[in-house]
Amino acid sequence: MEKIINEIMTKKIGDVEIDASLAKYTTYKVGGIAKLVVYPKNIDKLVELMEIINRENIKYFVLGNGSNVLFSDDTYEGIIIKLDNFSEIEIEDNIIRVGAGYSLIKLANEVSKLGLQGLEFASGIPGTIGGATFMNAGAYNSEMKNVIRSVKVLTPELKVINLSNGEMNFHYRDSFLQHNKGYICLEVILRLNHGDKELLQEIIKDRKLKRKKTQPLEYPTAGSVFRNPEGMFAGKLIEDLNLKGYQVGGAKISEKHANFIINTGNAKASDIKEIVDYIKEKVNDEYNIKLRVEQRLVNWDD
């Protein structure tokens, strides 16, 4: 890895962090050590980085705000790519061009103040534009699919292309990017509608108050753990099994919302994973329903 680090620094690809704790990169505040974290300066430098990664056959993971991911406690023997520098934004009437590293919450609040409607659902989703696009993030019966016009990506062949909304194959918490390894979201073009800025601000304010009442925002967490089965709510299934408050080590099922697992202060990733597996087993035994994890599990054996 030392040779690779030297090459990355010589080519001035971007800032690097060596042997960094993944706990500081994830909203769960858990995870092992990342051998190398790289912040490419731009698309050209990202291409150079991917050329090195492909040549050396190194594993990698593109990480946004770490708000929907659970790394194991093991060392990540590869490269974590952070696209924080991909944060340009251009607004022309109701069309927004925005970099993958831009904060989704920040964007939702900014466009609502301009009277642009359609992103209010995202005002409490603590991810990046790239991560939200990858996951087709959603809330309040809306999702990224509804506002995305096209997505600029880097292909496995290191070509920059644009994918239309249809080509992104969006489904519930799903997209083309999840099933086609090697494609990296670089930039997104959104189309919003014109609306009443005061009304939009009021909607965002009301939803923020509701989240504070119903979600354990005072603890490190990564949002909803499980996808809702069709016609059901995962949280309700878990709550009906009296699992609120169930604890393993420093991790616990929230007593505010059963589809949230919280880090009470000293949790390990393995504590959280053990609860995830326990919930899946209990729900399957009781209801014969196989819950699907919404969060991405990275660097686990299974």
Using the predicted structure, report yes or no on whether residue 285 has a pLDDT greater than 70.
yes
pLDDT greater than 90 at residue 228: yes
Q: pLDDT tens-digit profile of 185-215? A: 999 999 999 999 999 999 999 999 999 999 9
Q: Are residues 93 and 195 in the same domain?
A: yes
Residue 257 belongs to some domain of the structure? yes
Residues 185 and 248 in one domain: no
Do residues 81 and 60 lie in contact, with contact meaning Cβ atoms separated by under 8 Å?
A: yes
Q: What is the mean pLDDT of residues 96-104?
A: 98
Do 102 and 153 lie in a common domain? yes
Domain region containing 265: 216-298
* Dmax (CA) of the chain: 57
pLDDT higher than 90, residue 85: yes
For residues 176 and 256, state if they share a domain: no
270: in domain: yes
The verdict on residue 207 lying in a domain is no
- pLDDT of 1 higher than 90: no
Q: Which residues of 89-115 are buried (b: 16+ CB within 10 A; e: fewer)?
A: eebeebebbbbbbbbbbebbbbbbeeb
What's the CATH code of the domain at 248?
Answer: 3.90.78.10
Q: What is the mean predicted confidence (pLDDT) over 97-117?
A: 97
What pLDDT score was predicted for residue 37? 98
Domain final residue, candidates 52, 82, 112: 82
In a domain, 208, yes or no: no
What is the distance between the alpha carbons of residues 4 and 56, in angstroms, rounded to a whole number? 9
Average pLDDT of the chain to the nearest whole number: 96
Kindly report the CATH number assigned to the domain that includes residue 51. 3.30.43.10
The rounded Cα 232 to chain-centroid distance in angstroms is 23
Same domain, 130 and 190: yes
pLDDT in tens, 37-54: 999 999 999 999 999 999
Q: Is residue 233 part of a domain?
A: yes
Residues 95 and 186 in one domain: yes
Residue 296 has pLDDT above 60, yes or no: yes
Enumerate the active-site residues.
Answer: 173, 224, 294
CB 237 within 8 A of CB 259: no
Q: Are residues 21 and 66 in the same domain?
A: yes
- 302 pLDDT band (50/70/90 cuts)? low
**Does the residue 111 lie in any domain?**
yes
pTM of the model: 0.94
pLDDT given at position 133: 98
Same domain as 172, residue 96: yes
Q: Which of 22, 48, 82 is the last residue of a domain?
A: 82
Decide if 209 is inside a domain: no
Together in a domain, 174 and 252: no
Domain count, the chain: 3
Domain boundary among 147, 173, 200: 200
d(CA 285, CA 297): 23
pLDDT > 60? residue 293: yes
Is 93 found in the same domain as 78?
no
Q: Give per-residue pLDDT as tens, 240-283.
A: 999 999 999 999 999 999 999 999 999 999 999 999 999 999 99
- Is 64 within a domain? yes
Q: Looking at the structure, do residues 177 and 272 belong to the same domain, yes or no?
A: no
pLDDT on residue 27: 97
Predicted local distance difference test score (pLDDT) of residue 301: 83
Per-residue pLDDT, averaged over 105-112, amounts to 96
Q: Are residues 111 and 22 in the same domain?
A: no
